[in-house]
Structure 1
Amino acid sequence: MSGLFNMHGPRWLLIITVVLASALVFGSAAEAGADTGKSDRIVSLGGSVTEIIYALGAGSRVIARDTTSSFPPEAEKLPDVGYLRALSPEGVLSVSPGLIIAEEGAGPPETIDVLRNAKLPYFEIPESYDRAGIVSKILAVGDAINEAEKARVLANALDASLGAAQARAEARGIEHRKRVLFILSTQNDRILASGTGTAAAGIIALAGGDNAVTSFEGYKPLTDEAIIAAAPDVILMMDRGGDHGAANGELLAMPAVTLTPAGKSGAVVRMDGLYLLGFGPRTADAVNDLSAALYGG
Structure 2
Amino acid sequence: MGNRKKPSFIAGVIFFCIGILLFVSVTVQAEPIIFTDSFGNQIELQEKPCRVVSLVPGITETIFALGAGDLVVGRTYHSTWPPEAADIPVMGGFFSPSPEKIMQAGPDIVFYSKLQKNVIKKLAGSACSMVNLETDSLAGSYRNIFLLGQIFGREKEAQVLVNEIEDEMKLVSQKTDKIPEAERLRVMRIMGRDSMMTPGSD
TM-score band by shorter chain is: 0.5 to 0.7
Greater than 3 Å deviation, 4+ residue runs = 172-175, 179-185
Q: CA deviation at 1:166?
A: 2.6
Partner residue, 1:72: 82
Partner residue, 1:146: 153
Contact 2:108/2:127, CA 8 A, preserved across alignment: no
User: How far apart, in 1, do the equivalents of 2:187 and 2:48 lie?
Assistant: 46
TM-score by length of 1: 0.46
User: How far apart, in 1, do the equivalents of 2:53 and 2:187 lie?
Assistant: 36
Q: CA deviation at 1:133?
A: 3.2
Contact 1:44/1:65, CA 8 A, preserved across alignment: yes
Partner residue, 2:118: 110
Percentage of matched positions with identical amino acids: 26
| SS in structure 2 at match of 1:49 | helix
User: How far apart, in 2, do the equivalents of 1:193 and 1:39 lie?
Assistant: 32
Larger radius of gyration: 2
1:144 to 1:126, Cα distance in 2 relative to 1, 3 A: farther
Contact 2:48/2:153, CA 8 A, preserved across alignment: no
Contact 1:56/1:147, CA 8 A, preserved across alignment: yes
Deviation per CA, 1:20-44: give whole Å up to 9, x if none.
xxxxxxxxxxxxxxxxx99311111
Partner residue, 1:136: 143
1:95 counterpart letter in structure 2: A
User: How far apart, in 1, do the equivalents of 2:48 and 2:159 lie?
Assistant: 25
Partner residue, 1:123: 131
What is the 5 A alignment of 1:101-250? 101-102=111-112, 104-107=113-116, 109-128=117-136, 130-181=137-188, 198-199=199-200, 217-218=201-202
Contact 1:125/1:140, CA 8 A, preserved across alignment: no
Contact 2:73/2:89, CA 8 A, preserved across alignment: yes
Partner residue, 1:54: 64
Q: CA deviation at 1:139?
A: 1.8
| SS in structure 2 at match of 1:84 | coil
1:170 to 1:142, Cα distance in 2 relative to 1, 3 A: same
1:40 to 1:86, Cα distance in 2 relative to 1, 3 A: same
TM-score by length of 2: 0.64
Deviation per CA, 1:15-68: give whole Å up to 9, x if none.
xxxxxxxxxxxxxxxxxxxxxx99311111111111111111111111121111
1:40 counterpart letter in structure 2: C
- Give unpaired runs (5+ residues) of structure 1: 1-36, 200-216, 219-297
Q: CA deviation at 1:152?
A: 2.4
Q: CA deviation at 1:98?
A: 1.8
1:141 counterpart letter in structure 2: L
Q: Let me know the Cα RMSD of the aligned residues.
A: 2.8
Partner residue, 2:103: 93
